[in-house]
Amino acid sequence: MTIQMLRLMRNALFAIALIAPGIQAAEGKGPRKTLTIGISQFPASFHPLIESMLAKSYILAMTLRPLTIYDAKWKLVCLLCTQLPTFENGLAKKVELGKGKTGVELTYTIHPKATWGDGTPVTTKDFIFTWKVGKHPLSAVGAVELFRRILKIVPNGPKSFTLTYDRVTFNYNEMSGLMPLPAHLEAGPFKRPRDYKDLTTYNTNPTNSGLYFGPYRISQLVRGAYVVLERNPTWYGKKPFFQRIVVQVIPNGASLEANLLAGGIDYIAGELGVTVDQALSMQQRFGSQFKFVYKPGLIYEHIDLNLKHVALRDIRVRQALIYAIDRQKISKALYAGRQKVADSMIHPLDPHFAKGIKTYRYNPRKAAALLDAAGWKLKGRWRHKDGRRLRITIMTTARDRARELVEQILQSYWRDIGIDARIRNQQARVFFGVTVSERKFPAMAMFAWLSAPGSVPRSTLHSSMIPSKENNFRGQNYTGFVDKEMDKLIDQAEVALDAEKRRRIFRRIQEIYVTKLPVIPLYYRAAPFVLPKWLHGVVPTGHQYSSTNWVEHWYAK
Amino acid sequence: MIAFIARRLLGTFVLLLIMSFVIYALIGLMPGDPIDIAINADPNMTPEDAKRLKAIYGLDQPIVSRYLAWLSSALQGDFLFSRLHNQPVFDVIMPHLWRTILLMTISFVLATAIAIPLGVWAAARPRTWADYTVNLFCFAGKSMPAFWLGLLLILLFAVQLRAFPASGFETVGDGSVGDVLWHLFLPVLALTLLNIAGITRFMRGEMIGVLRQDFIRTARAKGLSNRGVLYGHALRNAMIPIITILALEFGGLFSGALITEIVFGYPGMGKLIFDAILGSDFNLAQAVLLFTTLVTLLANLGADVTYAAVDPRISYS
């Protein structure tokens, strides 16, 4: 019986192996009309405003376009609008709102040919509807600040409207969060605002062509597995090269790599694919087969220092911690120098980056001297003060291999100057959900911030943003940093319209940041794009607006 | 027998009720929730937004009142919406369940069909090269991490030979039976190899024990053929513990194989359960965990009933 069964199995395997290559070869023939992209996550929802998720914005950027966006050169441009409103061109005007408050009126014109996939034009009505959804307290929209700040939207016709914003900020005309919803499809589900998150057409029928007006529309999807995007015939811009784009979800770096090598996918998205170390390892082995692009981005890896800690209250100890670590060497050893060492929280590509501010290079002698000066003297292996050992705990997200590796290297550097650094990691939901957000980390918390170009660091550095039980844990100033000058500068930065003045303010903000050092800057994370040699036109941005916002410029050659 | 089954079914219902609260409480007791994580991922989200969203999703309510609300809906047949998928729970589960049943059943049947004769074959030749080879294979299979074996198979069959796809469950736009089977080949192979090892070890061990017993010697003395002794007498007696093991494995058919699913990008129940628990998707986690609990309990009941069929000495009243 056993031998018969084995024979049967052998024959079956042989038959499958014979037909299998034929199936694959049939797929590979003909001109390239399909591009298959591998990403590591499947979106929870396709609604543009509900749930903030990178996988969702990556896919939706091929199907929808916001009014404005930061391009790959980090410059604010129109995508759905025809002209950016400015004070100079008269499309932006300051208005008195009463009680001494000043706002701004902004006039936007929607692209005249912008049309939803079912043939309905994209109009002012859609924007007014979107605003109503966005500000409704029961609509489950995450970031509603933008919608709250818009006081009114007045239509000037089907394709133009003027909105009133409740304040004048330096980025007053940036409306990247204003992604229109199709009122003709969504008004029905929104009649029950509390259930809207479940009833929205983006969830009940995501392949409805009327939901999209971008170069592609979602034509097919299997949740957790893949999304198929077909060219949208109503798209008003450049005709995309690829007839079809398939976004395949493979939640594992090694499997993504195997799929790329096996031809299951053509391209690993830099925004949501493999880590830098995985890409470097791939490049070593298969460098000649693919193009590797490492785009330095706005993801700022850093260590928040809890300034309640007895030793970390002293600025000399904080400086000693950074002098004791060789960040250049870490970046070179682990990431082949692809992750640029950060000198402050502002990225060098950001227009507000200040050159020539204080930097910290590896200097263990200086670190030791600073600790001596602070009263932490070496006794045996460790430093002590008032009978207490200099012990600090560093925490990060468990199972993040890259961060855990960096932690161990840092621990060894600090041990060399007599600091007893202990590692204690937690699951992301506990780490971010409680430990960091409620400032329960005893000394150091290592994580990353993702921000937009030109962001004002109010939530992370203003003294009113220190989370506590009294303010219901409002704010992200987890270090507990208090500096009156910094508070004043942040208030000024938000409303400084003059670019030169704003640069001066940001320079001072960065000077205080690196001098007082509430945070140890580590590096800016790079996004590794692994592209086939025949794919052209993909321009990584380095910020949170993904390269797919310009997917119509991608082509095969 | 009927009274026995009725009693067991009643016990199953009570156990499910207790389990439903335990599962709900365990997920609820984990610190932090998805909204807390969202606020760290989205620099534009304010703490006020987080508070509002928690109220919308009911995360601001005490765990007991949330559980009672869920229970009341569940008893009326409504398992509510999945927060992570923004879909009714059943709509989320069904495609994953179907794919898991397909993957796991094929590998379970194959593994059982190969492992039982292999175990018997090895037990009939104790301390021979054949036995040592089977043992070596079993130890290797038990010690091999699933992700490692999966990646090796991908490297060999998908990258080198290009004979089978490295991941997924169907070619986009195809989905024919042949295409699905083609995609299933590697994950089924990985799971089958891993499962064969365990079942073969048990089978071999049980058979060796039974083959030492007096009634086997009597059967041989009566002049029965070796095949008749092995399959007619020894195997039937060795099957009782194997049935228990197979019943326990049967529960796993519906809960998926997390690592294999991740490595092969196969959207099944394993990953669904994992994400639901970590993402505090109470409605989804409750439904899938209770379902797998129910299947395991029913499989055990099935095993108990099967004992009586296999061993005439066992009867229920």
Are A437 and B114 a contacting pair at CB < 8 A? no
DSSP lists the bridge partners of residue A263 as none
CA angle A53–A57–A62, rounded 5-degree value = 160
Are B47 and A224 a contacting pair at CB < 8 A? no
Query: Does the complex come out with an ipTM higher than 0.90?
Result: no
- pLDDT(B237) > 70: yes
Rounded to a whole number of angstroms, the distance from the CA of A546 to the nearest CA of chain B is 15
Interface residue B32 vs chain A (CB under 8 A): yes
**For a pLDDT cut of 70, what percent of chain A falls above it?**
94
Rounded to a whole number of angstroms, the distance from the CA of B13 to the nearest CA of chain A is 31
Residues of B in Cβ contact (< 8 Å) with A476: 40
- Assess contact for A225 and B168: CB atoms under 8 A: yes
- Assess contact for B166 and A38: CB atoms under 8 A: no
**Domain region containing A455:** 297-525
- Assess contact for B45 and A474: CB atoms under 8 A: no
Query: Where is pLDDT greater, at A451 or A548?
Result: A548
Number of CB atoms found within 10 A of residue B18's CB: 9
- Assess contact for A240 and A216: CB atoms under 8 A: yes
pLDDT given for residue B37 in this prediction: 67
**Of A39, A477, A276, A37, nearest in space to B47 by CA:** A477
Do residues A327 and A393 both lie within one domain? yes
Of A2-6, A140-144, B73-77, B180-184, the range with the lowest mean pLDDT is A2-6
pLDDT band at A25 (very low <50, low <70, confident <90, very high): very low
Do residues A541 and A471 both lie within one domain? no
Residue A337 lies in a domain: yes
d(CA A445, CA B213): 64
Structure tokens that stand for A375 in this block? 């009263």
Do residues A225 and A210 both lie within one domain? yes
Residue type, A213: F
Residues of B in Cβ contact (< 8 Å) with A434: 31-32, 36
Are B265 and A248 a contacting pair at CB < 8 A? yes
Are B172 and A226 a contacting pair at CB < 8 A? yes
Q: What is the pLDDT of residues B26-85, one digit of tens each?
A: 887 777 777 776 666 665 667 777 788 888 888 888 888 888 988 998 888 888 888 788
Q: Which of A166, A183, A200 is the last residue of a domain?
A: A183
Q: What is the pLDDT of residues A75-132, one digit of tens each?
A: 999 999 999 999 999 999 999 998 889 999 999 999 999 999 999 999 999 999 999 9
Residue type, B8: R
d(CA B196, CA B182): 21
**Of A387, A446, A445, A383, nearest in space to A420 by CA:** A383
Residues of B in Cβ contact (< 8 Å) with A145: 44, 46, 49
Residue A499 lies in a domain: yes
- pLDDT(A20) > 70: no
Our count of domains for chain A comes to 3
Residue A39 lies in a domain: yes
d(CA B52, CA B46): 10
- Assess contact for A459 and A477: CB atoms under 8 A: yes
Do residues A464 and A325 both lie within one domain? yes
- pLDDT(B98) > 80: yes
The CATH number assigned to the domain holding A319 equals 3.10.105.10
Q: Which of A198, A242, A248, A456 to mutate to test the interface with B (most CBs of B within 10 A)?
A: A198
Interface residue B164 vs chain A (CB under 8 A): yes
CA angle B288–B290–B257, rounded 5-degree value = 45
Residue A21 lies in a domain: no
pLDDT given for residue A21 in this prediction: 43
Q: What is the mean pLDDT of chain A?
A: 90
- Assess contact for A54 and A40: CB atoms under 8 A: no
**Of A274, A86, A24, nearest in space to B168 by CA:** A24
pLDDT given for residue A28 in this prediction: 46
A379 membership: H or E segment, kind and range: strand A377-379
Q: Which of A133, A158, A183 is the last residue of a domain?
A: A183
Do residues A446 and A363 both lie within one domain? yes
Are B86 and A203 a contacting pair at CB < 8 A? yes
| Phi, psi of B34, rounded to the nearest 5 degrees | -60, -30
Do residues A149 and A79 both lie within one domain? yes
Of A68-82, A307-321, B21-35, B224-238, the range with the lowest mean pLDDT is B21-35
Do residues A347 and A468 both lie within one domain? yes
Q: What is the pLDDT of residues B241-250, one digit of tens each?
A: 888 878 777 7
Residue A5 lies in a domain: no
pLDDT band at A220 (very low <50, low <70, confident <90, very high): very high
Interface residue B226 vs chain A (CB under 8 A): no
Do residues A166 and A196 both lie within one domain? no
- pLDDT(A27) > 80: no
Residue with tokens 């207490």: A388
Q: What is the pLDDT of residues B281-297, one digit of tens each?
A: 888 988 988 888 888 88
CA angle A147–A150–A156, rounded 5-degree value = 120
The CATH number assigned to the domain holding A104 equals 3.90.76.10
Rounded to a whole number of angstroms, the distance from the CA of B14 to the nearest CA of chain A is 32
**Of A346, A240, A233, A335, nearest in space to A281 by CA:** A335
pLDDT given for residue A7 in this prediction: 53
Residue type, A111: H
Query: Where is pLDDT greater, at A237 or B2?
Result: A237
Residues of A in Cβ contact (< 8 Å) with B114: 5, 9
Average pLDDT over residues B299-310: 80
Q: Cα–Cα distances in Å, from B253 out to A485, B16, B260, B272?
A: 63, 19, 13, 14
Q: pTM for the complete prediction?
A: 0.83
pLDDT given for residue A10 in this prediction: 47
- Assess contact for A95 and A105: CB atoms under 8 A: yes
Residue A2 lies in a domain: no
Do residues A320 and A196 both lie within one domain? no
Average pLDDT over residues A174-197: 93
Q: Cα–Cα distances in Å, from A32 out to A243, A532, B166?
A: 9, 12, 21
| DSSP letters spanning B173-189 | T---HHHHHHHHHHHHH
Residue A13 lies in a domain: no
- pLDDT(B135) > 60: yes
Q: What is the pLDDT of residues A372-428, one digit of tens each?
A: 999 999 999 999 999 999 999 999 988 888 899 999 999 999 999 999 999 999 988
- Assess contact for A48 and A185: CB atoms under 8 A: no
Rg, chain B, Cα only: 24
d(CA A105, CA A123): 19
- pLDDT(A23) > 90: no
- Assess contact for A344 and A300: CB atoms under 8 A: no
Of A39-43, A77-81, A468-472, B222-226, the range with the lowest mean pLDDT is A468-472
Rg, chain A, Cα only: 26
Do residues A51 and A110 both lie within one domain? no
| Nearest Cβ partner for B37 among A27, A251, A429 | A429
| Nearest Cβ partner for B32 among A146, A429, A474 | A429
Structure tokens that stand for A312 in this block? 């970390």
Q: Which of A140, A158, A183 is the last residue of a domain?
A: A183
Query: Where is pLDDT greater, at B264 or B34?
Result: B264
Contact map slice: B 71-100 vs A, CB within 8 A: 81, 84-87, 92, 95-96
Do residues A516 and A484 both lie within one domain? yes
- pLDDT(A530) > 90: yes
**Of A93, A99, A148, A152, nearest in space to A127 by CA:** A152
| Phi, psi of A123, rounded to the nearest 5 degrees | -130, 180
Give the torsion through C-alpha atoms of A137, A141, A146, A148, to 10 deg: 0
Are A248 and B167 a contacting pair at CB < 8 A? yes
The CATH number assigned to the domain holding A268 equals 3.40.190.10
Of A284-298, A318-332, B49-63, B167-181, the range with the lowest mean pLDDT is B49-63
Do residues A157 and A266 both lie within one domain? no
Q: Which of A257, A261, A301, A397 to mutate to test the interface with B (most CBs of B within 10 A)?
A: A261
Residue A361 lies in a domain: yes
Of A55-59, A149-153, B227-231, the range with the lowest mean pLDDT is B227-231
